[in-house]
Amino acid sequence: MNSYNFVDENFFDNGKNYCVSNSSTKLDSYNATPHLGLNGKLIKGSACNVYFVWNGGYKCFVPNANTFNNLFKNWKTIIQLHDDELNSISTGPDISNNACLITGNNNTYLLTNGEKHFITAPSVMEYCNFDWKKILKVPQIIIDSIPNGKNIDYGI
């Protein structure tokens, strides 16, 4: 089992300064694979880019500090990986700019890339470091009109 170092939040200047890269540049090595053991976690390598691992163990680029702060409680839970390990994890779709957490009548979702992803339990919210205080209340009729994506259901 790997031991991981957690990133000091001061590295990110409390989220004010954030490195943004052209995410169309694939960092994966030829033999990259999903990493189920990091599902629901925030990770980074030596560069300042942060990824959320989900959707079957794929790392998904978080595009900026505003998007990060829309979703997550804090910067303290980001796991620092060696670049070789980071590059061995398959890349999934980026988290969309201004992605957010939404709720209607009762369920909570991650809204990214035009899809809502049902967060199946409070323990999943906690496991993923999602911030309860950041959930936006949206009329149910709007939520019903958003296409469904994959559920977020690990970490319980």
Number of helices (H) and strands (E), helices first, in the chain? 4, 9
**Residues contacting 37, CB < 8 A, separation 6+:** 57
Q: Are 67 and 101 in contact (CB under 8 A)?
A: no
pLDDT value at position 124? Answer: 94
pLDDT value at position 33? Answer: 86
Q: 40-64 burial by CB neighbour count: b if 16+ within 10 A, else e?
A: bbbbbbeeebbbbbbbebbbbbbbb
**Which mean pLDDT values do the consecutive 10-residue runs of the chain (156 residues) have?**
44 43 39 83 93 92 96 93 94 95 96 97 94 97 96 73
pLDDT value at position 34? Answer: 81
Alpha-carbon gap, residue 119 to 116, rounded angstroms: 9
pLDDT value at position 31? Answer: 58
Using CB atoms within 10 Å of the CB of residue 73, give its burial: 0 to 12 exposed, 13 to 18 middle, 19+ buried: middle
Residue 91 pairs with which residues in a beta bridge? 59
pLDDT value at position 45? Answer: 93
Domain ranges, ordered by start, for the chain: 5-87, 100-145
**Does residue 127 sit in helix, strand or coil?**
helix
pLDDT value at position 24? Answer: 36
DSSP state of 44: E
